[in-house]
Amino acid sequence: MGFPLIGDKFPEIEAPTTFGKIKLPDDFKGKWFVLFSHPADFTPVCTTEFYAFALRYDDFKKLNTEIIGLSIDSNFSHLKWVEWIKENLKMEIPFPVIGDPRGLVAEKLGLLHPQSPTHTVRAVYIVDPNSTIRAILFYPAELGRNIDEILRMIKGFQVAEKYGAAIPANWPNNEIVGEHVIVPPASTVKEAEERLKTYECFDWWLCHKEVPKEEATEARKFLERVAKPTK
């Protein structure tokens, strides 16, 4: 079975969660949301990821972004696991986790791997306020996600939309243009000529421009978290 792709509308889903019934994408219209799946409850790598997502929950909120977890464990299992995390790691999970023991939601989103049909893959959907899927990430079971990179991606999407630009590699620490953003390439001869007069350019097809310092500073905080984050 296929799954939705970048640029598609997020499919309509109704499911039970640790916070009650949820309806996607309707419950998050006007907001960004990250839906991430994990292989199973009470597993070590997944536990570190839930802790990391919870630790950065306020950062997601500042970006008008909500978080939803998912696996094909039952809601009962989720409730016991998040209770264990709170009691043993002193971290409360502040976002809902979808219980999907029949795998109906996971199948609809392409999160069941043929080699392990009893576990969801480690995946991320980033969805914008118009319910459009902007990014899909898949990870192998043995590799935990970098949550700060997910935050940087959302910040990058928001900056790109706000300033009509594209985001270069490793932004805001790009090796060529630093914290500048990329101006979309010209599509006419006249536009190409104007690009060279208006922006800093290496050529008419590679121009860049500055954005306010605070935009880059926030993204840099996610990319280069120097101090250990605290609760």
Q: Are residues 137 and 189 in the same domain?
A: no
End-to-end alpha-carbon separation of the chain, Å? Answer: 41
Structure token digits, residue 152: 């940087």
Residue 90 lies in a domain: yes
Q: Are residues 65 and 120 in the same domain?
A: yes
> Which of 109-113, 155-159, 168-172 is predicted least confidently?
109-113
Q: How far apart are CA 124 and CA 84, in angstroms?
A: 24
pLDDT tens figures, 6-55: 999 999 999 999 999 999 999 999 999 999 999 999 999 999 999 999 99
The Cα-based distances of 194 to 36, 180, 181, 198 in angstroms read 43, 19, 18, 6
* CATH of residue 64: 3.40.30.10
Q: Is the pLDDT of residue 122 over 70?
A: yes
Q: Is the pLDDT of residue 92 over 60?
A: yes
Which one of 114, 145, 176 terminates a domain? 145
Q: Are 153 and 159 in contact (CB under 8 A)?
A: no
Q: Domain residues for 167?
A: 156-223
Residue 230 lies in a domain: no
Structure token digits, residue 178: 């630093």
pLDDT tens figures, 169-184: 999 999 999 999 999 9
Residue 68 lies in a domain: yes
Q: Are residues 18 and 129 in the same domain?
A: yes
Q: Are residues 139 and 167 in the same domain?
A: no
* CATH of residue 183: 3.30.1020.10
Residues marked active site are found at: 46
3-state secondary structure at position 86: helix
Which one of 99, 118, 145 terminates a domain? 145
According to DSSP, the residues that pair with 98 across neighbouring strands are 17, 70
* Total structural domains within the chain: 2
Mean pLDDT of the chain: 93
- Which helix (DSSP H) or strand (DSSP E) does residue 14 occupy? strand 13-15
